[in-house]
Structure 1
Amino acid sequence: MDIMLFITGAVATTDVVEACKGVNIAIMVGGFPRKEGMERKDVMSKNVSIYKSQASALEEYAAKDVKVLVVANPANTNALILKEFAPSIPEKNITCLTRLDHNRALGQISERLDVPVSKVKNVIIWGNHSSTQYPDVSHAVVETEHGEQPVAKLVADDAWLHGEFISVVQQRGAAIIKARKLSSALSAASSACDHIRDWVLGTPKGTWVSMGVYSDGSYDVPPGLIYSYPVTCENGEWSIVQGLSVDEFSRGKLVATADELVEEKAMAYSCFSS
């Protein structure tokens, strides 16, 4: 059954009460933008200030079951800041966008194998929405006339999968900024819609997607980070996909991106009193 949604109105406002009062879904796109040549560290202190105030507004005025998606970068750590300053919002209701990277990974495999992107599923973006993220196809498959086939088998080129594929997905955002002098706003908007749709309406059976969510220690990731995992969604709730094998190559990538998030978390917390 197809479900169609329609916008019946829009309100443009700078009044925080009007913007946040009673909202059920909040997509946080405001932040200090990353520009060409800027490091993530350059924008951290500015975004701490922004997300402290936005968290306070949601805490006070939003619906108690509000679902929050943080898009503005550094998205994982901005989401963590928001969680810290909106303690009444359940931790499972605060997420960040890595669906953009997930979609880029699907697109790269689609292009490489010359198949429709709709036929590729179950790639994973692990970790941070940054250049340390790990696009993983170890468990990804392609729907073919002979049934589902592993991506790794069809590509048959480990050097590409462990090299160019990863770097292209990791650096895609920076490449767009360099080419356009602006971020990939339309792709991010489309991915945000994908994220919210699947979170609210559920993921197709047998399919997972990537979401930045609060780590419970799964896959030996330090608890207390907002970390991108493979998740399934049902009845408005996400669940981390459990029991996937992680080889030595992948483990090193998972640890590296977690280490960056630990560093970002420490940096953000050091800005809380400033």
Structure 2
Amino acid sequence: MATKQPIRVAVTGAAGNIGYAVLFRIASGEMLGPDQPVILQLLEIPAEGPQKALKGVGMELEDCAFPLLADMVLTDDPKIAFRDAAWCLLVGSKPRGPGMERADLLKDNGKIFVAQGQAIDEVAADNARIAVVGNPCNTNCMIAASQAKRLPKDRFTAMVRLDQNRGQALLARKARVPVEEVSELFIYGNHSPTMFADFTHARIGGKPAAEVIGDRAWLESEYLPTVGKRGAAVIEARGQSSAASAANALIDHVRDLATPGRLHAVAVNSHGRYGFAEGIWAGMPVRSTADGYEVVTSYQMDDFAKSKIKITNDELVSERDTVKEMLGAQ
């Protein structure tokens, strides 16, 4: 049997907590399959500490002797990291510091994603697909995509899969069923506390989730804010932001995008669907295809769902307005 050609996977922030949690799973075949060799192209900022840590991560990857890890590139140069990459996983971003305004965070990260978007468009593979994890991921993705002239903007996606996974797990726990019993739970809007985990179309064991749960008040007033604020709850409990669960969600995000027929939530170019403004990146249901994905537009929203989508849309529009001077030709 002919051996598959290795796929080049670029990962930014590769020595950070999420990067460290995801790289070994990519190299083991969990993301792209047990027979797909990969070349990891790992980017860290050009400072002594992160570059030293990246070297250590590379050593550990070597020490695992993964059969699928065909090669590695460790670099501080985006044009080297993204060259010929088929998947660009943008994990690294500037975290919000004490007393930092959200607008300042948006603008600081905007500069990073302008540069990365330009480098990806210049040197990545013609079939490159981009998954943005670094927060605020929806708007960072929009900024990176705005720099693309060669690559179609719909190749740029942002991750709301962690919210989907959190929402599924919470519904399963409430219903006392295995998590695989929960289906069609999609995240709409921003990866932030405003996002809408749409329980109105979710199903548990094939039945409407709201019918199985039997407590609409709990779904509206407890379930939604619990999912939306789960990241803050993890920080409060653990003292650090979600890392292993975010890495797991990234594996799910890419694996399902690479598997035709999968139905899942992804933040994509809205194109005005589901009441979102044009030109923002918003979570919504997609079905993966052989060469990308198609947005599923058949879900009809009730007034409650529409009100929740409006809130998260307004936040995304506000973020877009904050960084509008950074956006390339849309």
Identical aligned residues as a percent = 34
Report the equivalent of 1:120.
182
Deviation at 1:35, TM superposition (A): 4.8
Q: Aligned to 2:80, what secondary structure does the other structure show?
A: helix
Are 2:309 and 1:251 equivalent residues in the alignment? no
Report the equivalent of 2:103.
41
Does structure 2 retain, via aligned residues, the 8 Å contact 1:231–1:241? yes
The separation in 1 between residues aligned to 2:264 and 2:99, in whole angstroms, is: 31
Moved more, 118-127 or 10-19: 10-19
Report the equivalent of 1:193.
251
Amino acid at match of 2:171: I
Report the equivalent of 1:180.
238
Does structure 2 retain, via aligned residues, the 8 Å contact 1:31–1:50? yes
Show structure 2 runs of 5+ residues with no match.
1-31, 37-67
Q: TM-score, normalised by structure 2?
A: 0.76
Moved more, 83-92 or 191-200: 83-92
Does structure 1 retain, via aligned residues, the 8 Å contact 2:146–2:153? no
- Output aligned runs, 1:156-175, within 5 Å: 156-175=214-233
CA 1:271–1:230: 2 relative to 1, 3 Å: same
Are 2:159 and 1:104 equivalent residues in the alignment? no
Amino acid at match of 1:248: D
- Output aligned runs, 1:1-274, within 5 Å: 3-4=33-34, 5=36, 6-35=68-97, 40-143=102-205, 148-204=206-262, 208-270=263-325
Amino acid at match of 1:220: G
Q: Aligned to 1:115, what secondary structure does the other structure show?
A: coil
The separation in 2 between residues aligned to 1:236 and 1:271, in whole angstroms, is: 29
The separation in 1 between residues aligned to 2:82 and 2:259, in whole angstroms, is: 23
Q: Aligned to 1:54, what secondary structure does the other structure show?
A: helix
Amino acid at match of 1:181: G
CA 1:84–1:40: 2 relative to 1, 3 Å: same
Amino acid at match of 1:230: P
CA 1:165–1:212: 2 relative to 1, 3 Å: same
Q: Aligned to 1:211, what secondary structure does the other structure show?
A: strand
Provide, for residues 77-98 of structure 1, a one-character-per-residue CA deviation record: whole Å limited to 9, x for no partner.
Answer: 0000001112222111000000
Does structure 2 retain, via aligned residues, the 8 Å contact 1:112–1:155? yes
Does structure 2 retain, via aligned residues, the 8 Å contact 1:201–1:236? no
Deviation at 1:42, TM superposition (A): 3.6
Does structure 1 retain, via aligned residues, the 8 Å contact 2:131–2:156? yes
Does structure 1 retain, via aligned residues, the 8 Å contact 2:143–2:327? no
The separation in 1 between residues aligned to 2:141 and 2:156, in whole angstroms, is: 7
Does structure 2 retain, via aligned residues, the 8 Å contact 1:199–1:236? no
Q: Please tell me the root mean square deviation across aligned C-alpha atoms, in Å.
A: 1.8
Moved more, 233-242 or 46-55: 233-242
Q: Aligned to 2:70, what secondary structure does the other structure show?
A: coil
Does structure 2 retain, via aligned residues, the 8 Å contact 1:230–1:241? yes
The separation in 2 between residues aligned to 1:112 and 1:37, in whole angstroms, is: 36
The separation in 2 between residues aligned to 1:65 and 1:98, in whole angstroms, is: 22
Deviation at 1:272, TM superposition (A): 6.2
Amino acid at match of 2:276: V
The separation in 2 between residues aligned to 1:103 and 1:271, in whole angstroms, is: 32
Q: TM-score, normalised by structure 1?
A: 0.91
Provide, for residues 238-271 of structure 1, a one-character-per-residue CA deviation record: whole Å limited to 9, x for no partner.
Answer: 1111221100111001111111101100101145
Moved more, 61-70 or 262-271: 262-271
